[in-house]
Amino acid sequence: MNDSPNWFDAYFSPTAVLRLQVTRRLFEVSSPFQKISVFDTCDFGRVLALDDIINVTERDEYIYHEMLTHPALFTHAGPERACVIGGGDGGAMREILRHGCIGSAVLVDIDRMVVDASRTYLPAVSCALDDPRLEIRYEDAAAYIAGRQDEFDFIAVDSTDPAGPGERLFTPEFYRNCRVALRTGGILTAQSESPFFDPGIVENLYASARTAFEHVWMYTAIMPSYVSGLWSFMFCSRGPDPLRDFQQQRFAESVFDLGYYSADMHRACFALPPRIQQRFAHVLS
């Protein structure tokens, strides 16, 4: 955190920053893997930060977690088993387990202290972590997924930035292992950084995924608390097309109380601004 006890600086780059006024500092610890901080702010409510990078805010976390999960789950014809890589706050798993067709799920996060902090300070985010369908594993996710074959219908990579333990989750080897871990017709999504501030990271990530998946799409959402406000997600498929195969009837019959994702948003989020489409065309389907 910065020198002032009343502000948190979320850096977009060395020369650009989002500054949040802090009203109360609740928790700060250095785990074996990263610095974990929880604090209350004026505009975004409670915030979970990892290594001084915003991970979750109460005000807009629903956008990120809905968009990481539902575009894939409403494209797959009948997902039954899911895996979240990272995502120890529990928000992505909360959205996945809204789907009654999911019979079992695995959350793999290397840092138990993130899960514990979310359980304590972000109960609305972590509320599904005690679901009986869920198994939580505290281990290296890259090593875990390397030992799986034809096991999952859906994998969500809810990773930190490509540094430290998260670096292995951006490699070609990781995505080749994920493809093997997916069943035929399976889908993988991943958070894929800011196309404006991190184009090199974005390009390398999609190139890594293209070594394993023939079809790779980018889609976007507005995330006010994340770098630049426009956030990208990656959609990798072992068959289904997110536009052609959208399960309109299943979505219409769902009773989810969603704040951002909708049938219209499903279609719209895959329409990229021309500059982004041109910049990354060589690594997109």
Judge contact between 82 and 153, C-beta under 8 A: yes
Report the amino acid identity of residue 167.
E
3-state secondary structure of 251: helix
How many degrees, rounded to 5, is the angle at CA 189 between CA 116 and CA 216? 160
Tell me which residue has tokens 């600086």: 9
The DSSP call for residue 123 is T
User: Three-state SS for 196?
Assistant: coil
DSSP string, 213-250: -SEEEEEEEE-TTSTTSEEEEEEEESS--TTTT--HHH
Which tokens in the block code for residue 110?
């290397």
Cα–Cα distance between 53 and 161 in angstroms, integer?
Answer: 9
Residues annotated as catalytic (active site), given as ranges: 158
How long, in residues, is the chain?
Answer: 285
Separation of first and last alpha carbons in the chain? 40
Under 8 Å between Cβ of 129 and 91 = no
